[in-house]
Amino acid sequence: MESIADYEFVRLLGEANYGDFYLAKTPPRLPVDDEFVVVKVATGLASDDAFRRATRELRHFALVSSPKLVTIFDAGRQGSTFYYAMEYLPLGSLGKPARPLTREETRGAVADAADAAHALHEHGIAHRDIKPGNILLHADGAKLSDLGLSQLLSPGLVMTGLGSIGVEFTDPAILVGGEASRATDIWALGAVLHRALTGFSLYGELPSREPLLLVRAILASSPEPHSSLSAEEADVVRACIAGDPMDRPSTAEEVAKRIRALI
Amino acid sequence: MMVPDDAEVAGLSPGSRLSDAACIPHPGEGLVGRWGDVLLVIGDADDAVVPLLLRHCEAVAEAGGDGRMLSRRLAGFLTTYEQELPAFVAAAPVATGLAVFVQGAAQVVVGEEFTVSGAASLAWVDRLIPWPVATLTMSAGVATEPGGGPYNLQRGVVPGAGLTLQGQSHDAAPVDAGQGGAEEPADEARHDGTPEEVGGLDRPEPAFTPSPDRWPGQGDEPPAFESVVMDLNAPEVDEESPRKPLPVASKVSRQAPESKGPVVHGVYCKNNHFNDPGVLFCAVCGINMVQQTPVLTEGPRPPLGVLLLDDGSAFQLDSDYVLGREPMHDDDVRAGRLRGIMLSDPDKSVSRAHARIELRQWDVVLIDNSSANGTYVAAEDDPHWTPLPPGTPHSLRSGNRIRLGSRTLVFNSYRGE
* A46 DSSP 8-state letter: -
Q: Is A244 on the interface with B (CB under 8 A)?
A: yes
Whether the CB-CB separation of A161 and B311 falls below 8 Å is answered with yes
Q: Which residue has the higher pLDDT, A240 or B115?
A: A240
- How many angstroms separate the Cα of A110 from the Cα of each of A86, A186, B312? 20, 11, 26
Sorted by sequence, the CB contacts under 8 Å of residue B226 that are 6+ apart come out as: A76, A77, A78, B189, B197, B198, B199, B200, B201, B203
Asked if A46 has any chain B CB less than 8 Å from its own CB, the reply is yes
Please answer yes or no on whether A177 and B317 come within 8 Å at the CB atom: yes
CA separation for the pair A151, B318 (Å, rounded): 14
Residue count (chain B)? 417
Give contacts of A 62-121 with B, CB under 8 A: 62-63, 72-81, 121
Asked if A155's CB is within 8 angstroms of B339's CB, the reply is yes
pLDDT confidence of residue A148: 62
Higher-confidence residue of B306 and B229: namely B306
Range of A136-140, B15-19, B264-268 with top mean pLDDT: A136-140
What is d(CA A24, CA A11) in angstroms, rounded to the nearest whole number? 7
- No. of helices (H) and no. of strands (E), chain B: 4, 27
User: What phi, psi does A51 have (nearest 5°)?
Assistant: -65, -45
Reported as a single tens digit per residue, the pLDDT across A103-125 is 999 999 999 999 999 999 998 88
- The CA angle A111-A113-A115, to the nearest 5 degrees, is 70
Question: Closest Cα of chain A to B207: distance in Å?
Answer: 4
- C-alpha span between B47 and B30 (Å, rounded): 10
Share of chain B above pLDDT 90, in %: 17
Contact B414/A178, CB-based, under 8 Å? yes
pLDDT value for B392: 93
Q: Does the pLDDT of residue A142 top 70, yes or no?
A: yes
* d(C-alpha B46, C-alpha B31), whole Å: 9
Give me the DSSP letters along A91-153: TBBSSSBSSPPPHHHHHHHHHHHHHHHHHHHHTT-------GGGEEEETTEEEE----HHHHH
| Three-class DSSP category at A154 | coil
Percent of chain A scored above 70 by pLDDT?
Answer: 87
pLDDT of amino acid B92 = 87
CA-based nearest residue to A43, from A147, A126, A150: A150
Q: Is a pLDDT exceeding 60 seen at residue A78?
A: yes
| Distance in Å, alpha carbon of B192 to nearest chain A alpha carbon | 9
Q: How far B269 CA sits from the closest chain A CA (Å)? A: 15
Q: Provide the pLDDT confidence category of residue A189 given band limits of 50, 70 and 90.
A: very high
Residue to mutate among B188, B203, B221, B229, with most A CBs inside 10 A, is B229
Q: Is the pLDDT of residue B378 over 90?
A: yes
Decide which of B337 and B378 is more confident.
B378
- Contact B410/A63, CB-based, under 8 Å? no
Element (DSSP H or E) covering residue B181: none
Backbone angles phi, psi at A165, to 5 degrees: -55, -45
* Spatial separation of the C-alpha atoms in residues A24 and A4, rounded to whole Å: 10
The stretch B350-362 carries a mean pLDDT of: 93
Model confidence at A209: pLDDT above 70? no
Does pLDDT of A72 surpass 90?
no
Element (H, E) at B300: strand B297-300
User: Could you give the CA distance from residue B128 to residue B91 in angstroms, rounded to a whole number?
Assistant: 10
Q: Which residue type occupies B25?
A: P
First to last CA, chain B: 65
- Residue B240 pLDDT exceeds 70: no
Comparing CA positions, the residue from A259, A101, A100, A261 lying closest to residue A189 is A259
Confidence of residue B150 (pLDDT cuts 50, 70, 90): confident
Contacts of A62 in chain B (CB under 8 A): 230, 232, 237
- pLDDT of A45 above 60: no
pLDDT at B161 over 70: yes
Report the pLDDT value the prediction gives residue B7, as an integer from 0 to 100: 36
Pairing of strands B263-268, B88-94: unpaired
pLDDT of residue B388: 94
Largest CA distance in chain B: 86
Q: State the pLDDT at residue A107.
A: 97
Tell me the pLDDT band of B85, cut-offs 50, 70 and 90.
confident
What ipTM was estimated for this complex?
A: 0.79
When mean pLDDT is compared across A66-75, A232-241, B201-210, B400-409, the lowest value belongs to: B201-210
Q: Give strand pairing partners of A204.
A: A201
Please say if the pLDDT value at position B66 is more than 50: yes
- Contact of B304 with chain A, judged by CB distance below 8 Å, is answered with yes
Position A3 scores a pLDDT of 87
Tell me the pLDDT of chain B averaged across its residues: 74
Chain B residues whose CB is inside 8 A of the A49 CB are 336
Chain B CB within 8 Å of residue A143 CB? no
Pairing of strands B175-177, B97-103: unpaired
Average pLDDT of the residues in B204-230: 46
Q: Is the peptide bond before B132 cis (omega within 30 degrees of 0)?
A: yes
Extended strands (E) in chain A: 3-4, 7-16, 19-25, 36-42, 72-78, 81-87, 135-138, 141-144, 157-159
The reply to whether B410 touches chain A by the CB within 8 Å rule is: yes
Which of the four pLDDT bands, split at 50, 70 and 90, describes residue B250? low
CB B388 within 8 A of CB B366: yes
Which residues have a Cβ under 8 Å from the Cβ of B67 and sit 6 or more positions away? Answer: B91, B92, B93, B94, B97, B98, B99, B128
Rounded Cα–Cα distance for residues B305 and B316 (Å): 6
Cβ–Cβ < 8 Å for B128, B98: yes
Q: If we measure between CA atoms, which residue out of A175, A101, A162, A170 comes closest to residue B312? A: A162
Angle at which helices A252-260 and A182-198 cross, to 10°: 30
Between B260 and B75, the more confident residue is: B75
Whether residue B338 is predicted with pLDDT greater than 70 in this model: the reply is yes
What pLDDT, on a 0 to 100 scale, did the predictor assign at position B192?
37
Burial B230-259 (b: 16+ CB within 10 A, else e): beeeeeeeeeeeeeeebbbbeebbeeebee
pLDDT exceeds 90 at position A259: yes
Model confidence at A16, pLDDT cuts 50, 70, 90, reads low
Q: Please tell me the predicted confidence (pLDDT) of residue A159.
A: 64
For chain A, give the number of residues: 263
Residues 6+ apart with CB under 8 A from B199: B183, B185, B186, B189, B190, B226
Mean pLDDT, to the nearest integer, of B47-58? 87
pLDDT digits (tens, 9 = 90+) for B307-329: 888 877 788 888 899 999 888 77
Set of chain B residues whose Cβ sits within 8 Å of the Cβ of A46: 205
Cα–Cα distance for residue pair B73/B85, rounded to 1 Å: 16
* pLDDT (mean) for B333-351: 83
**Predicted local confidence at residue B23, as pLDDT:** 85
Task: Indicate the pLDDT class of residue B212, thresholds 50, 70 and 90.
Answer: very low
pLDDT interval class at A221 (50, 70, 90): confident
Q: What is the model's pLDDT at position B259?
A: 60
* Per-residue pLDDT reduced to its tens digit, B109-130: 877 667 778 777 777 788 877 7
- Percent share of chain A, pLDDT over 90: 46
Q: Is the pLDDT of residue A192 over 50?
A: yes
Higher pLDDT, B343 or A257: A257
pLDDT given for residue B221 in this prediction: 45
Of A114-123, A162-171, A246-255, which gets the smallest average pLDDT?
A: A162-171
Most distant CA atoms of chain A, gap in Å: 53
What is the model's pLDDT at position B222? 45
pLDDT class for B225, splitting at 50, 70, 90? confident
Q: Residue A17: list chain B partners with CB under 8 A.
A: none
In terms of Cα–Cα distance, which of B130, B84, B123 is closest to B101? B123
Q: Count CB neighbours of B379 within 10 A.
A: 12
